[in-house]
Amino acid sequence: MSNANTVASTAHKQAASEHKACAEHHTKAADCHEKGKLDEAKASSKSAMSCCDTASKKSATACTNADYHTEIELAAFEPNNLVPDSEPSPDKK
C-alpha cells in the first residue's frame, strides 16, 4: 500500500472511531431518557453533539485527502500529462 493510501486509510479509521463514539453517546442519551434520567440524558446529548462535530471534521478531512491522492495518482498516469516527445516504456504500451 502506498503512503498516500496508508494516510487515507488511517484518516478514515479515525473518523469511523469518532462516529462510533458518537453512536455510544446517543445510545446512552436514549437509555437515560427511557429511564427518566433527564440530566444524564442532557449530558450525554451534549457529549454526542461535540463528538459528532469532531467526527464530521475528521470525515471531511479523510475524504478530501483520499480524493486528492486519488486525483494525483490518476493525473500521473494520464497520457495527456506525459512530457512532450516522450513515450511510455515499452511494457506500458
Question: Looking at residue 90, what DSSP letter applies?
Answer: G
pLDDT at 63: 76
- pTM of the predicted model as reported, rounded to 2 decimal places: 0.59
Are 21 and 53 spatial neighbours (Cβ–Cβ below 8 Å)? no
pLDDT at 28: 93
pLDDT at 57: 85
pLDDT at 58: 83
Burial of 59 (0-12, 13-18, 19+ CB in 10 A): middle
* Residues ≥6 apart with Cβ < 8 Å to 5: 69
What is the block-wise mean pLDDT of the chain (93 residues), using blocks of 10 residues? 69 87 91 94 91 86 72 72 71 61
| Number of neighbouring beta carbons within 10 Å of residue 18 | 19
Q: If we measure between CA atoms, which residue out of 65, 46, 57 comes closest to residue 18?
A: 57
pLDDT at 1: 47
